[in-house]
Structure 1
Amino acid sequence: MELHQLRYAVEVQRRGSFTAAAEMLHVSQSGVSAQVAKLERELGVRLFERGRRTATLTSEGANLLPLMSAALDDITNIEQTAGEIHGLTRGNLRIGTIIGCSIPGYLSAFAEFRSAYPEVRLNVREGNSAELITQLSSGDIDIALLAHTDPLPAQFDVTTFISEPIVAGVPVGHAWTQKPAVSAEDLAAANILTLTEGTGIRTALQRTCSIAGIEVKPAVEAHSPETVHALAARGAGVAVLSTSMITAPLTAVAIEGAELARLSVASRARPGAAVRTFMRTLRAHLPDLSAG
């Protein structure tokens, strides 16, 4: 049994096919298939049921693949911890962030970590929060900086540094500035500008309106809170964002029964040394994160 055979088998499980696993590993499909078959012969069990385009776990595979994944995590941890013993953190660190992330504390932490540990190879991926949760769960990324409404999976190590209700952002002189709060019905009648599906803000908006029995269809959806804010400031509609995102020239107006939007950093359980070090660096900058 060799490490690369375990890696191939784990990747087939994650991707659902030998072809997709081969593409991710940058090796031939036949090579992945041959090595997994060799591993199955050595173990005396069949790990996967092979379909024409898919590979699904057998009952034996369902028992063994989590152990293989944990073993690979342990190997990575050993390698990175050995580097720490010699005063150097090494390895690969895959960071997932919300699209267009320019939060000052995150950027400061990233720069500090990169300067302190130049031997660590950093890979940054952007996506909406739903995508980041999926990627973190599957092991495609090591750390996720994401916005969410529901609690994150229990197997994640989570630090939440912003938890606040969504609000409506309107320009000076808008009729809503005279109201203590607006209802879901008010939102349904307005031109709503907000973030795209899969983001924490959008989920909070949908949940708030659904509880009130109202369906709200945004007039404009954008990836960037800055874009939503700028459009609302120019009179294009009402921005729905979290409280701290609404700044001058917009005025924040409360939404009745508003759900909370949370901004958190999460990593998988049993993180390697590089992940632990980056998380410590990021947490040291968390007071700055709400400034942007």
Structure 2
Amino acid sequence: MELRQLEYLLAVVEEASFTRAAARLHVTQPGVSSQIRQLERELGQRLLDRTGRTVRPTEVGATVLEYARSALASVAGARLAVDEYTGLLRGQVAVGTVTLAPELDLPGLLASFHRRHPAVDLSLRESGSDELAAALTAGRLDAAVLAPDRTPPPGVELQIIADEPLVVAVSRDDPFARSGRDRLALTELADRTLITFTHTSGTRGVIDAACAAAGFRPRIAFEASDPRVLARLAAHGMGAAILPEPIARDHPEELHVLSLDPAVRGRLALAWRTAETESPAARAFLSHARTALTTTAPPPP
């Protein structure tokens, strides 16, 4: 019995197909079939039911599968232990993010980690904060940069890496701009067409909650996940944008910026599962990210 045969068996069961398993393993389908037939001859039992439209494990095969998973996990653990001892880190790290402000250099952080640990496979996906939190708790992500609600979801720990005021930005010919004011009561937005983040954003949740506390439901006409898009829409006179202050003030020729009363703040956080991960690569990335993002995070208000 060879580890390769157990790996092939696991792949066929998980993919429910010899063809898909071969593609996943980057080998030929006859090679996969041959190795599994050899394993079945050695054990004297059929491990896979090939009679249906999809391949399924037989009763004996399901039992063998448990031992196969355990054996492959033990081998992977032994390899990781040796790699840690020799200083060569391997593995996979999956990171998620919302659309970020330009000053938060997540690509630079990923690149610096890759230079330290070139044998670790990194992946990055973009999504809304709620989806990222769900992927974290389900184990599909090792870390995420998201816009948190007031309390983190169960099983997720946060490190705040940005905490900025949200402001209103309007075009230079907007009535708010012509008035010369630099501060605005939140209730004055009740009858305005608003431009802000998508409903999946944690920052949008903060905005909706602030408007509800002020006694109105915002009239949102334009949504985007990228704050720079919000700024451009406001500059073209499409409405009043609610966005982070640094983004708004980056367009002094096109936008007039007003502070909100009461103040509303938008936050970004590095998030990870509270339970310690078994992956040395993920632990190393979290340590790297927490240190790097601490040095770049603004001081608390």
Return the TM-score normalized by structure 2.
Answer: 0.68
Contact in 2 for aligned 1:105/1:288 (Cα 8 Å): no
Pick one of 231, 247, 260 that aligns with 1:255.
260
Which residue number corresponds to residue 178 of structure 1? Answer: 181
Count of aligned positions: 251
Contact in 2 for aligned 1:209/1:216 (Cα 8 Å): yes
Q: How does 1:96-175 map to 2 (within 5 A)?
A: 96-99=96-99, 102-172=102-172, 174=174, 175=176
Amino acid at match of 1:227: V
1:285 aligned counterpart, secondary structure: helix
Distance in 1 between residues matched to 2:142 and 2:84, nearest whole Å: 18
Q: Tell me by how many angstroms 1:172 deviates.
A: 4.2
Which residue number corresponds to residue 264 of structure 1? Answer: 269
Which residue number corresponds to residue 283 of structure 2? Answer: 276
**Quick check: 173-182 or 202-211, which moved more?**
173-182
Contact in 2 for aligned 1:147/1:261 (Cα 8 Å): yes
Q: Tell me by how many angstroms 1:144 deviates.
A: 0.6
Q: How does 1:25-36 map to 2 (within 5 A)?
A: 30-31=54-55, 34=57
Q: Tell me by how many angstroms 1:207 deviates.
A: 0.8
1:169 aligned counterpart, secondary structure: strand
Distance in 2 between residues matched to 1:254 and 1:111, nearest whole Å: 36
Query: Does residue 214 of structure 2 align to residue 207 of structure 1?
Result: no
Structure 2 unaligned residues grouped into runs of 5+: 26-49
Q: Tell me by how many angstroms 1:115 deviates.
A: 1.7
Q: Tell me by how many angstroms 1:168 deviates.
A: 1.2
Which residue number corresponds to residue 296 of structure 2? Answer: 288
1:281 aligned counterpart, secondary structure: helix
Superimposed CA distance per residue, residues 187-245 of structure 1 (whole angstroms, 9 cap, x where no aligned partner): 22122111111102211111111122211121111121111112212322211113333
Q: Tell me by how many angstroms 1:100 deviates.
A: 6.1
Distance in 1 between residues matched to 2:207 and 2:77, nearest whole Å: 40
Contact in 2 for aligned 1:194/1:222 (Cα 8 Å): yes
Distance in 2 between residues matched to 1:199 and 1:256, nearest whole Å: 22
Q: Check 1:173–1:135 CA distance in 2 against 1; reply closer, same or farther (3 A cut).
A: same
Distance in 2 between residues matched to 1:200 and 1:73, nearest whole Å: 37
Which residue number corresponds to residue 199 of structure 2? Answer: 197
Q: Tell me by how many angstroms 1:37 deviates.
A: 8.4
Q: Please report the RMSD computed on the Cα atoms of aligned residues, expressed in angstroms.
A: 3.9
Amino acid at match of 1:230: R
Which residue number corresponds to residue 229 of structure 1? Answer: 231
Amino acid at match of 2:276: R
Structure number with the bigger relative contact order (C-alpha 8 A, sep ≥ 6) is: 1
Q: Check 1:90–1:187 CA distance in 2 against 1; reply closer, same or farther (3 A cut).
A: same
Contact in 2 for aligned 1:143/1:265 (Cα 8 Å): yes
Contact in 2 for aligned 1:166/1:255 (Cα 8 Å): yes
Contact in 2 for aligned 1:205/1:258 (Cα 8 Å): no
Q: Check 1:130–1:258 CA distance in 2 against 1; reply closer, same or farther (3 A cut).
A: farther
Distance in 2 between residues matched to 1:195 and 1:38, nearest whole Å: 50
Q: Check 1:115–1:255 CA distance in 2 against 1; reply closer, same or farther (3 A cut).
A: same
Q: Check 1:198–1:258 CA distance in 2 against 1; reply closer, same or farther (3 A cut).
A: farther
2:169 aligned counterpart, secondary structure: strand
**Quick check: 189-198 or 98-107, which moved more?**
98-107
Contact in 2 for aligned 1:149/1:204 (Cα 8 Å): yes
Once the two structures are aligned, what percentage of the paired residues are identical? 26
1:114 aligned counterpart, secondary structure: helix
1:148 aligned counterpart, secondary structure: coil
